[in-house]
Amino acid sequence: MAEFRLTERDYRYLFENASDAMWVHDMEGNILDGNKAFGKLTGYTLGEWAGMNVSQFLTDEFQASAREARRKLCNGEDLEQPYEQQLVRRDGTTRTVKLSTSSIIISGEVKGFQHVARDVTEEKQLEESKAFYVDEVIRAQEHERKRIARGLHDDVSPPLLLLAQGLDTLTSAKRQRLSESLLKQTLEKLRSQAIDALESLRCCAQGLRPRILDDLGLVAALEWMTDDLVKTREIDAYFEIVGVEQTLPAETQLLLFRIAQEALNNTKRHAQASRAVVRLEFQHDNLKMTVNDNGRGFELPKRIGDWASIGQLGLAGMQERARLIGGRLAIQSEIGKGTTVAIEVPLKGSLSL
């Protein structure tokens, strides 16, 4: 078998076509060579970067760390690789890269450096945005707990306290002196206090998880939610269903309900809308839910992933919930015209058998 040897041309091909950016510069920092990915990373073409100095690609903040890396390599000291750097592109934007650097030694002397870099900008942004999201979710959870605790304390405790006091009075020694009619009156009052407490408790529980969803399912729960909006908020909200209703797994129902709840909450809080429509459309192998309002609309961020990082947790949460049930969420909004939140979920395989 003939010996397997790569020619200079083969290595050149590998260098040119590697997906990581690679470049070489001399001791003064003059760029001597770079591959296609280097051109893509920096935004400069071959003709342009030949003759440029490596310092032109470094942000001020990272000039010193680049010098330090080179110094360590020259002195044979340990350098943790790959290390992070920021590069300035031709258009002035910066990219974060993970960089591995080694020295080029000719006749025992360091003559230059070669670098291999992977662009990790998006990865880092995603990481930061995830960390931010988790942070915010925990904060929101705490906030929600406080709200529930306050609700219980402010609305449920007082009628219960009154009830207990009333019962105390009744069971005290003075009881015998109460006339029949006064006794009846007092018991009526206590009963109404008990009902008040029960009603407040129901409200708290309903806000946490509407029983109607567990008892009667998504369609009934969405109907209840739009009816409630009409009753309380003067928004002309209604629910419509298209196609033949199919049974959905409990988890899908819950997450769709939460998405509709958040979308309608946004309509209530931000849209100044006079009308809202929740629509559930059973297609052949797809379920589409839309929540539409005729409110003032808003400007959407350029990229969907930006929601969490700019603190729009309601929108980010809707998207996360859609993802959990294998669905796709799309939001359309036009200033002055209104907003539509749409989610499509595949029905195949998500049907409960």
Ligand X SMILES: Nc1ncnc2c1ncn2[C@@H]1O[C@H](COP(=O)(O)OP(=O)(O)O)[C@@H](O)[C@H]1O
Q: Which residues bind ligand X (CB under 6 A)?
A: 266-267, 269-271, 293, 295-298, 312-315, 339
Q: How far apart are CA 57 and CA 90, in angstroms?
A: 8
Q: Which residue is nearest to Mg ion (CB)?
A: 314
Q: How far is the CB of 316 from ligand X (least distance, A)?
A: 6
- 3-11, 18-26, 261-269, 282-290 -> range binding Mg ion (CB under 5 A): 261-269
Over the Cα atoms of the chain, what is R_g?
33
Identify which of residues 117 and 255 has a Cβ nearer to Mg ion in the complex: 255
Is residue 267 a contact residue for Mg ion (CB under 5 A)? no
- 122-130, 165-173, 297-305, 312-320 -> range binding Mg ion (CB under 5 A): 312-320
**Residue at 20: amino acid letter:** D
Identify which of residues 43 and 314 has a Cβ nearer to Mg ion in the complex: 314
Q: 327 contacts which partner out of Mg ion, ligand X, none, CB within 5 to 8 A by kind?
A: none
Burial code of 34-54, b = ≥16 C-beta within 10 A, e = fewer?
bbebbbebbbbeeeebeebeb
Q: Which residues contact 276 (CB under 8 A, 6 or more apart)?
A: 226, 229, 235, 236, 237, 238, 264, 267, 291, 292, 293, 294
Q: How far is the CB of 304 from ligand X (least distance, A)?
A: 12
Q: How far is the CB of 128 from ligand X (least distance, A)?
A: 18
Identify which of residues 175 and 337 has a Cβ nearer to ligand X in the complex: 337
Identify which of residues 271 and 287 has a Cβ nearer to ligand X in the complex: 271
Identify which of residues 189 and 337 has a Cβ nearer to ligand X in the complex: 337
Query: Directed axis angle between helix 313-324 and helix 250-266, to 10°?
Result: 160
Q: 293 contacts which partner out of Mg ion, ligand X, none, CB within 5 to 8 A by kind?
A: ligand X
Identify which of residues 293 and 344 has a Cβ nearer to ligand X in the complex: 293
Q: 267 contacts which partner out of Mg ion, ligand X, none, CB within 5 to 8 A by kind?
A: ligand X
The answer to whether residues 268 and 225 touch, using CB atoms and an 8 Å cutoff, is no
Choose which of 266, 267, 339, 340 interacts with Mg ion (CB under 5 A). 266
Q: How far is the CB of 336 from Mg ion (least distance, A)?
A: 20
Is residue 319 a contact residue for Mg ion (CB under 5 A)? no
Q: How far apart are CA 73 and CA 66, in angstroms?
A: 11
Q: How far is the CB of 166 from ligand X (least distance, A)?
A: 41
Q: How far apart are CA 279 and CA 268, in angstroms?
A: 17
The residue with tokens 């395989």 is: 349
The residue with tokens 């296609």 is: 36
Q: How far apart are CA 194 and CA 130, in angstroms?
A: 46
Q: Which residue is nearest to ligand X (CB)?
A: 314
**Residue at 30: amino acid letter:** N
**Residue at 221: amino acid letter:** A
Q: 339 contacts which partner out of Mg ion, ligand X, none, CB within 5 to 8 A by kind?
A: ligand X
The answer to whether residues 297 and 337 touch, using CB atoms and an 8 Å cutoff, is yes
Identify which of residues 44 and 133 has a Cβ nearer to Mg ion in the complex: 133
Residues that bind Mg ion (CB under 5 A): 266, 314
